[in-house]
Amino acid sequence: MIVKSAEFVTSAVKAAQYPEARHPEAAFAGRSNVGKSSLINTLVNRKRLVKTSSTPGRTQLINFFSVNDALSLVDLPGYGYAKVPASVRRKWGPMIETYLKGRETLKAVVLILDIRRTPGLEEQNFIDWLELYHRTAILVLTKADKLSKTDRKKRRQAIGAALGVDESTLILFSAKTRLGKSEVWSALERAVLG
């Protein structure tokens, strides 16, 4: 994918605030602070189109971005151990669920996992849930730059086994080195524009 333009469209909490569904869409989900926003920035060759932070829970709304006026990328708030007030966190589940269930133009969900962490029930449930709603999942293992090549392979194997998926479907990625950027784009193009 040659990115000619990438722009912020709008933020939303509820369906009435979503932008008009003009283009096929891909959403980015994962635990808080895993690197969702950084991954989107890497894909569109921008440093700060999407706000990133070392503080978990930076992204608190559903943020819509438009690429080449042909495709829409959606940054979701993270789940898990966000250091945000419980009152805010309680609203995220339904907010994300409503979006994932109901958005008619949503073609793929990129689930981003930290390569150093073995996924647990939360991730497994999320994948099962996506299947139930017939959402195509693209699995990305990010922060690969933090490991040696040997350890990356070992971690990919362990994560594949933990999730019960073929490890070859897990894309190794790094926002720091841009490893895997073209693989993520290929998977997105297949799922979203294919």
The region, left, alpha or beta by phi > 0 then psi within -120 to 50, assigned to residue 86 is alpha
Residue 109 pairs in a beta bridge with 27, 137
Residues in contact with Mg ion, counted by CB under 5 A, come to a total of 4
Q: Which of 26, 174, 181, 187 binds ligand GTP (CB under 6 A)?
A: 174
**Between residues 1 and 112, which has the closer beta carbon with respect to ligand GTP?**
112
* Residue 9 tokens, joined: 């469209």
Binding of Mg ion at residue 38 (CB under 5 A)? no
Site for ligand GTP, residues 135 to 164, rule: CB under 6 A: 142-143, 145-146
Q: Which stretch binds Mg ion (CB under 5 A): 23-31, 59-67, 117-125, 170-178?
A: 59-67
Binding of Mg ion at residue 37 (CB under 5 A)? yes
Report the alpha-carbon distance of residue 152 to residue 164 in Å, rounded. Answer: 18
**Between residues 70 and 117, which has the closer beta carbon with respect to ligand GTP?**
117
The region, left, alpha or beta by phi > 0 then psi within -120 to 50, assigned to residue 177 is alpha
Site for ligand GTP, residues 30 to 69, rule: CB under 6 A: 30, 32-38, 52-54, 56-59
**CB atoms near residue 23 (< 10 Å):** 18
What is the maximal distance between C-alpha atoms in the chain? 47
Report the alpha-carbon distance of residue 95 to residue 108 in Å, rounded. Answer: 18
Please choose which of Mg ion, ligand GTP, none residue 34 contacts, taking the beta carbon within 5 to 8 angstroms, the exact cut-off set by kind: ligand GTP
Shortest Å, Cβ 194 to ligand GTP: 26
Spatial CA neighbour of 144 closest among 169, 185, 109, 180: 180
Shortest Å, Cβ 103 to ligand GTP: 19
Site for ligand GTP, residues 77 to 136, rule: CB under 6 A: 77-78
CB under 8 Å to 175, separation ≥6 — which residues?
35, 38, 39, 41, 42, 142, 143
Please choose which of Mg ion, ligand GTP, none residue 180 contacts, taking the beta carbon within 5 to 8 angstroms, the exact cut-off set by kind: none
Binding of Mg ion at residue 59 (CB under 5 A)? yes
Binding of ligand GTP at residue 170 (CB under 6 A)? no
